[in-house]
Amino acid sequence: MSTKDSDVVLEEMGGLDSESLVESICQHHLSNLGRDYGRSDKFSLYQALAYSLRDRLVGNWIKTQRSYYNRSAKSVYYLSLEFLVGKSLTSNAINLGIEKETEEALGKFGVTLEDAESAEVDAGLGNGGLGRLASCFLDSMATLGIPGYGYGIRYEYGIFKQAIENGEQVELPDDWLHSGNPWEFRRRGFVFTIGLYGREEKYTHDDGSLRHRWTDTAKVMAMPVDMLIPGYKNGNVINMRLWEAQPARRFNLDLFNSGDYIRSMEDAVKTETISKVLYPSDKLSEGRELRLVQQYFFVSATIQDMLRRFEKIKLDFSELPNRAVVHLNETHPAIAIPELMRILIDEHMLNWDQAWRICRRTFAYTNHTVMPEALEKWSLDMMRKVLPRHVSIIFEINRRFLEDVKNCFPGDEERLSRMSIIEEGEYPQVRMAWLAVVGSFTVNGVSTLHGELIKKNIFYDFVEMFPGRFTSVTNGITPRRWLKQCNIPLSELITEKIGKGWVTDLSRLHQLESLAEDEEFQNRWYDCRLKAKKKLVEYAQKEYGLYMPADWMYDVQVKRIHEYKRQVLNVLHAITLYCRLKKDPSSVAVPRVKIFAGKAAPGYFLAKRIIRLINSVGAVINSDSAVNHKLRIAFLPNYRVSQAEYIIPATDLSEQISLAGTEASGTGNMKFALNGALTIGTLDGANIEIMEEVGRENIFIFGMNADEVEKRKHEGYVSGDVVGGDSELAEALNLLADGTFSEGDRDFFAPILDSLFAEGDQYMTLADYRAYVDAQDALEQIWLDRKKWLKMSILNTAGSGHFSSDRAIMEYATSIWGVHPMEKES
Ligand code: 26V
């Protein structure tokens, strides 16, 4: 059968009207679920609908792939150890442009789309910002028609589930695949072999040259599991390919035949641990061997897959950089650089210079953190054991690089040790960030400030050597999920006023500016916001039994728990309000509920204690009738993408209060502003650009900026000095110390107090306290002026257009990747 004949099938993979959807749902009940559709329930409807939507994606995916191939397009390989996908049902229905039809179809079975989606489990294959960014970027690549693929690991267990017991975080396994995943295609026939361990061997090639090879390796198989990502109403579908580890041989036959069944299975069990679980830390690099194995496993499979595609077009390898760009999301996949070198040199017999020229034009790297402790380093010994051949390639990269450094900066010995990819010392380490910088043609930060800061500090030496290599692309978020989908009333109101074009051209939101003072529009804006708040009220009540009156100010800080993000500053403000209310019940003008959510890395003791702090202060405040008519604290357990979709549209005040110079960008900050929340924030990360876009007068900026932080540290900051002059701060800290919030246990919050005093208050929480509380007081006055607040809220949405991930991806495409959106084929 010719491709043309079979294309009839592609076209017929399913109609987009509600009748066809009903038919598909019934069919999938029978064919895939083995169930009577007359006895469907929410879960079976979710599954059957997901299969039905997947049918409708796959035809478009094949067509998209063919058009990449036909046009010999250059493609982006976006390599990320994390993708924080969340749920896919509604998002896919929206992007297919069949949301209404889907609602109608489900209506026939007596459920709504929201009901059906409630049966879906979040795909939480990431820790936080970095992973969610990767998912927003795939949505935008598909929407813009940028040829590309996402590559990662199909973890069997994603980010742990957080339960709160006695105010404390308890981690539970995230068994997200328990009932299957109807979105994925498991491609058992397309596996690659991955080598590990073994040794490097020299040999003389037939042509007489001295060569190296990696031998005696242990073998693991990588099986692709694909999840399709549709663009918004454009018929494009791209692929997120996640690798699952499988044993090279399911049984060790020798052992099996000799009767040792159990031992024969052991190998298989060990192999499968590679893609078993996501590492739940976004801070300290733990340096565990399994993590390195995970990184190499997915990188090796991905590079093999890329070269398989490239080799189909039968071009010289020197053409590779014109056909593919490999984007490294952080240094986690940076081992791809020596891996590509190894394949080109050892397997395809290129010489070093040829291979290096190709690599240097193929990789681009995004840095996501200024925190030096999050820079990845691998013990040389461990790396030598796991990847001996790669280590010797890294040494050769380093040797040649340090030669160049010597030539550029003659006589500067110290510089050589600072810039060496190998950190010398008792326990030598491989500096992955240096490897990524040396092996990439572009290195970018994720906001303007962050781009500048990494040039000034961690990469200073490299900027002197490669001044043109460093740049920044400010992060973005997809307007589909983060406005159209999560906030239907508001997005319908916006569409009514400015048309639907904003969904793919978010800068059009500027058109709302002229309505900001229109009283009727303000009232409708208010109604939409109230609806979102009531939806959150219902959710929080149903899921967690929490009470939060919809007419109160929702003051929200949801993100990973970290000292640098300063949840403690927010708690100190809560305690201050508590003290004021205790003294005078009428002293606080605005009733507010402080909403917190976020996970702490399981090994991060202080972050866990901060969760206890929030819950303990909450318990006292919420049960004290002298204050709980004006102030409440709610900690929503198990923060995740789907929960954020409830919280963000309902937020009045968005807390973005990291110490200036520590948050690389933030992306939550963008989601809140887009949905009309006002921000209280420091001049950190993308907050600065939000301020520039929405206007200085429409955001509550407080505290030191990054330069002032530096200066203050330089002068010798002593946190204790701040407290003496501030009686409210002293009082709040006293209550933490005297057991008020810990049932009289005076030691319980000592670790937090120690971090603020004995350990020097690294994140300068106390230094910014007064400015923060004053800013909170000032914004209460604006809240009382409802018209003013609403105007500011509208102007925040209107000014958020810049923060679309479509804009960010276009910047990557044109200024880094050199790829172009595909015009639709006629
Ligand atoms: C470091 C490590 C160290 C080893 C263990 C696993 C792990 C995972 C992540 C990281 C780097 C932290 C990266 C991160 O999530 N950064 C966040 O990236 C967001 C997207 O660019 C940005 O908005 C946040 O400001 C930044 O904190």
Both 487 and 455 in one domain: the answer is: no
Task: Give the pLDDT score at 263.
Answer: 72
Task: Give the pLDDT score at 35.
Answer: 97
Instruction: Choose the final residue of a domain: 439, 456, 473.
Output: 473
CB neighbour list of residue 540: distance below 8 Å, 6 or more residues apart: 546, 547, 548, 634, 636
Both 531 and 640 in one domain: the answer is: yes
28 catalytically annotated: no
Both 469 and 484 in one domain: the answer is: no
Lowest mean pLDDT among 2-6, 107-111, 125-129: 2-6
Tell whether ligand 1 has an atom less than 6 A from the beta carbon of residue 374. Answer: yes
Q: Nearest Cα to 313, choosing from 302, 303, 298, 324?
A: 324
Closest ligand 1 atom, residue 475 Cα:
21
**pLDDT range class, residue 389, cuts 50, 70, 90:** very high
368 catalytically annotated: yes
Q: Is residue 177 part of a domain?
A: no
Residue 264 has pLDDT above 80, yes or no: no
Give me the catalytic one of 342, 384, 390, 559.
Answer: 559
Instruction: Choose the final residue of a domain: 453, 473, 493.
Output: 473
Both 495 and 633 in one domain: the answer is: yes
Q: Is residue 340 part of a domain?
A: yes
Residue 210 has pLDDT above 60, yes or no: yes
Contacts 24+ apart (CB under 8 A), 722-728: 722/766, 722/767, 722/769, 722/770, 723/766, 726/769, 726/770, 728/576, 728/579, 728/773
Residue with tokens 């329930």: 41
Q: Nearest Cα to 809, choosing from 79, 129, 141, 68?
A: 141
Residue with tokens 């983060």: 482
DSSP state of 154: -
C-alpha–C-alpha distance, residues 424 and 290, integer Å: 24
Q: What is the dihedral of CA 494, 499, 505, 508, to 10 degrees?
A: -70
Give me the catalytic one of 565, 612, 640, 807.
Answer: 565
Q: Is residue 798 part of a domain?
A: yes
Report the greatest alpha carbon distance in the chain. Answer: 90
CB atoms within 10 A of CB 195: 18
Q: Is residue 13 part of a domain?
A: no
pLDDT digits (tens, 9 = 90+) for 572-608: 999 999 999 999 999 999 999 999 999 999 999 999 9
With a pLDDT cut of 90, the percent of the chain lying above it is 91
Residue-wise DSSP of 28-45: HHHHTT---GGG--HHHH
Residues 664 and 447 sit within 8 Å (Cβ to Cβ): yes
Task: Give the pLDDT score at 339.
Answer: 98
Q: Is residue 194 part of a domain?
A: no
Q: Nearest Cα to 273, choosing from 256, 288, 254?
A: 288
Task: Give the pLDDT score at 371.
Answer: 86
C-alpha–C-alpha distance, residues 496 and 561, integer Å: 39
CA of 687 to the centre of ligand 1 (A): 17
Q: Is residue 212 part of a domain?
A: no
pLDDT digits (tens, 9 = 90+) for 668-712: 999 999 999 999 999 999 999 999 999 999 999 999 999 999 999
CA of 368 to the centre of ligand 1 (A): 5
Strands 592-597 and 553-558 turn out to be parallel
Closest ligand 1 atom, residue 685 Cα:
25
User: What would the two tokens of residue 97 be?
Assistant: 């442009």
C-alpha–C-alpha distance, residues 377 and 286, integer Å: 9
- Whichever domain contains 521, its CATH number is 3.40.50.2000
Closest ligand 1 atom, residue 133 Cα:
20
Lowest mean pLDDT among 35-39, 509-513, 636-640, 820-824: 820-824
Q: Is residue 382 part of a domain?
A: yes
Q: Is residue 681 part of a domain?
A: yes
C-alpha–C-alpha distance, residues 757 and 568, integer Å: 13
Both 446 and 532 in one domain: the answer is: no
Task: Give the pLDDT score at 151.
Answer: 98
**pLDDT range class, residue 826, cuts 50, 70, 90:** very low
Instruction: Choose the final residue of a domain: 419, 449, 473.
Output: 473
Task: Give the pLDDT score at 635.
Answer: 98
CA 778 from centroid of its chain's CA atoms: 33
Both 418 and 541 in one domain: the answer is: no
Both 385 and 512 in one domain: the answer is: no
Q: What is the mean pLDDT of residues 648-656?
A: 98
667 catalytically annotated: yes
C-alpha–C-alpha distance, residues 711 and 91, integer Å: 46
**pLDDT range class, residue 26, cuts 50, 70, 90:** very high
Tell whether ligand 1 has an atom less than 6 A from the beta carbon of residue 392. Answer: no
Number of domain units in the chain: 2
Both 580 and 640 in one domain: the answer is: yes
Tell whether ligand 1 has an atom less than 6 A from the beta carbon of residue 155. Answer: no
Tell whether ligand 1 has an atom less than 6 A from the beta carbon of residue 281. Answer: yes
Q: What is the mean pLDDT of residues 499-516?
A: 98
Q: What is the mean pLDDT of residues 258-276?
A: 75
What single letter denotes the amino acid at residue 130?
A: L
Residue 304 has pLDDT above 90, yes or no: yes
Residue 549 has pLDDT above 50, yes or no: yes
573 catalytically annotated: no
- Give the range of the structural domain holding residue 680, as residue numbers without chain letter: 479-810
Residue in 80, 137, 292, 330 to alter for ligand 1 test, most ligand atoms within 8 A of Cβ:
330
Nearest CA to ligand 1 atom 9: 282
Both 416 and 530 in one domain: the answer is: no
Strands (E) located in 518-584: 553-558
Tell whether ligand 1 has an atom less than 6 A from the beta carbon of residue 600. Answer: no
Residue-wise DSSP of 706-773: HHHHHHHHHH---HHHHHHT-HHHHHHHHHHHTTTTTTT-TTTTHHHHHHHTTT--TT-HHHHHHHHH
Nearest CA to ligand 1 atom 14: 130
21, 89, 96, 226, 646 from 100: Cα distances, Å: 11, 13, 11, 27, 21
Task: Give the pLDDT score at 68.
Answer: 85
C-alpha–C-alpha distance, residues 700 and 517, integer Å: 20
**What value does the mean pLDDT of the chain take?**
95
The more confident residue out of 267 and 618 is 618
CA of 369 to the centre of ligand 1 (A): 6
C-alpha–C-alpha distance, residues 239 and 149, integer Å: 5
C-alpha–C-alpha distance, residues 285 and 265, integer Å: 32
User: What are residue 681's phi and psi, to 5 degrees?
Assistant: -160, 165
Both 443 and 523 in one domain: the answer is: no
Residue 3 has pLDDT above 60, yes or no: no
Residue 302 has pLDDT above 90, yes or no: yes
User: What would the two tokens of residue 816 be?
Assistant: 């880094």
C-alpha–C-alpha distance, residues 157 and 276, integer Å: 6
pTM over 0.85: yes
**pLDDT range class, residue 251, cuts 50, 70, 90:** low
Task: Give the pLDDT score at 110.
Answer: 97
Tell whether ligand 1 has an atom less than 6 A from the beta carbon of residue 693. Answer: no
User: What would the two tokens of residue 94 be?
Assistant: 């929206």
C-alpha–C-alpha distance, residues 599 and 161, integer Å: 9
Closest ligand 1 atom, residue 667 Cα:
23
C-alpha–C-alpha distance, residues 245 and 222, integer Å: 5
Residue 5 has pLDDT above 70, yes or no: no
Both 466 and 485 in one domain: the answer is: no
Both 486 and 437 in one domain: the answer is: no
Closest ligand 1 atom, residue 291 Cα:
5
Tell whether ligand 1 has an atom less than 6 A from the beta carbon of residue 278. Answer: no
Task: Give the pLDDT score at 253.
Answer: 66
Helix intervals (H) in 457-513:
460-465, 479, 488-498
